[in-house]
Structure 1
Amino acid sequence: MPAAKIRSVIIAEELALFRDGIAALCELSGRFHVVGCTSDGEQAWKLLEEKTPDVVLVDLQIPQLHSLEIAKRLTEPGDGMRPVPTRCVILAMRRDRKTVLEVLRAGAQGYLLKTSTGAQLVDCLEQVIEGGIYVSPAVDVQSLFAPEKRGMVEDPISRLSAREFQVFSLLVEGVRAKEIAARLQLSPKTVDTYRSNLMKKLDIHDIPGLVKFAIQHQIIPA
């Protein structure tokens, strides 16, 4: 029986200890070889184009280039960008429905919670490389796609577009507008427009109010 093929992995995670831990788990499994590690999104994209690994693990809140921009580029490359045949797994702490859905809609094939076990990491990598979709078991997958029941009050966060939610997520994490523009590859003026629109939709008109809302909806910890 032939030995299983060793798959290549790139890890894009801001926290060095966490990044090194994932790399060690991948290597110890005997099934994956880490061909690159980085702490920012721009460098991650350069590594992806250079190494074209089987899979990339990206921190949801990676600086420089937003994680979902990386996922989109992998599946829908824009002008001047060649396709990269790499599967994408997003690493996150959030379990809220909106975040998980936006990650999958952006084109990522995996959503792995940072509270996952080493065995779940390996399982995730194997599933996405084989063409599947993986969502951490701690996330209630049925609720992600369940239709809204009649009479239920609409979740205000569901009114936000994908871009508005990305801007919202970064604002409540304390990221400044100029950096948000850089991460999302947008102009500062466009970011201001998204911020204005999302505040109007949520009927919240300052950053502290957005943070309180995010805590109440378990998007960020209290």
Structure 2
Amino acid sequence: MVRVMVVDDHPIWREGVARDLTERDIEIVATAPDGAAAVRIARAVRPDVVLMDLQLPELSGAEATAAIREALPDTRVLVLSASTEHGHVLEAVRAGASGYLVKSAGMEELVDAIDRTARGQAVFSPGLAGLVLGEYRRLESEGPDEPRLTPRETEVLRLVAKGLTARAIATRLTLSHRTVENHVQNSLRKLQLTNRVELTRYAIERGLDADE
């Protein structure tokens, strides 16, 4: 059973979606009314999928998405928004969302999207997938920029460069061993490196092993 958290600042919509998903055998582990609460609650309940609205108080949906993805690399975010503006879609994807569904979608479409998101697939409402693909192609055509690591990934990379093991890094940063390994794997993927030796060399070449 997929474990889902629903984030929306409209209580009737939030509770209605949670109830309808529960009736379809999806486990709702939590709900949240704003972006800051979403990040805090997600860290506690560790859902498989966060169903995220974009227009939220405290933190925006995109900001909350980025924070959740950094704290919980195994948790995926599916945006469910009334907006079809291209800027909102691209902002969500850049923040780490796995997909984007408009609120006009039917419940069966939403259930299918949640299931596919939990299995690691990218899910977009019709017409939006082409937009996202076009943006990726545009970025590729501009040439490779220096990959952007999250602050936490950079922090882990700095300790890797100092020679600490994953378990030592986990202890130093008060993280789980698995979370540290996820950060390392994410960094390897972003930097297009194959192993820890190459990752360490990359970090040392950029002076990340120096004391701050």
TM-score range, shorter chain: 0.5 to 0.7
Where 2:74 maps in the other structure, the secondary structure is coil
Q: Are the counterparts in 1 of residues 43 and 68 from structure 2 also a CA contact under 8 Å?
A: no
Query: 2: CA distance between counterparts of 1:48 and 1:143?
Result: 29
Deviates more, 1:52-61 or 1:90-99: 90-99
Match of 1:25 among 20, 31, 39: 20
Q: Are the counterparts in 2 of residues 89 and 112 from structure 1 also a CA contact under 8 Å?
A: yes
Q: Are the counterparts in 2 of residues 35 and 53 from structure 1 also a CA contact under 8 Å?
A: yes
Q: Are the counterparts in 2 of residues 56 and 89 from structure 1 also a CA contact under 8 Å?
A: yes
Amino acid at match of 1:71: T
Where 2:30 maps in the other structure, the secondary structure is strand
The yes-or-no answer on 1:87 pairing with 2:76 is: yes
Alignment of 1:124-135 (within 5 A): 124-135=113-124
* 1:114/1:49 CA distance change after superposition, 3 Å: same
Alignment of 1:1-222 (within 5 A): 6-30=1-25, 32-75=26-69, 77=70, 82-137=71-126, 139-146=127-134
**Could you report, residue by residue, the CA deviation over 1:10-55 in whole angstroms, capped at 9, with x for unpaired residues?**
111011111112111211111x111111211111111101000101
Identity %: 29
Amino acid at match of 1:72: A
* 1:91/1:57 CA distance change after superposition, 3 Å: same
Query: 2: CA distance between counterparts of 1:21 and 1:99?
Result: 24
Equivalent residue, structure 2, for 1:219:
none
Q: How many Å apart are 1:144 and its aligned residue?
A: 4.1
Aligned residues: 135
Structure 1 portions without partners, runs of 5+: 1-5, 148-222
Q: Which runs of 4+ in 1 moved over 2 A?
A: 82-85, 139-147
Amino acid at match of 1:17: I
Where 2:88 maps in the other structure, the secondary structure is helix
Q: TM-score, normalised by structure 2?
A: 0.59
Q: How many Å apart are 1:84 and its aligned residue?
A: 4.8
* 1:142/1:50 CA distance change after superposition, 3 Å: same
Equivalent residue, structure 1, for 2:195:
none
**Could you report, residue by residue, the CA deviation over 1:67-121 in whole angstroms, capped at 9, with x for unpaired residues?**
111221233x3xxxx4352110112111122221221111101211111100111
Q: How many Å apart are 1:63 and its aligned residue?
A: 0.8
Q: How many Å apart are 1:143 and its aligned residue?
A: 4.1
Query: 2: CA distance between counterparts of 1:10 and 1:27?
Result: 11
The root-mean-square deviation of aligned C-alpha atoms, in Å, is 1.7
Structure 1 or 2: more helix by fraction: 2
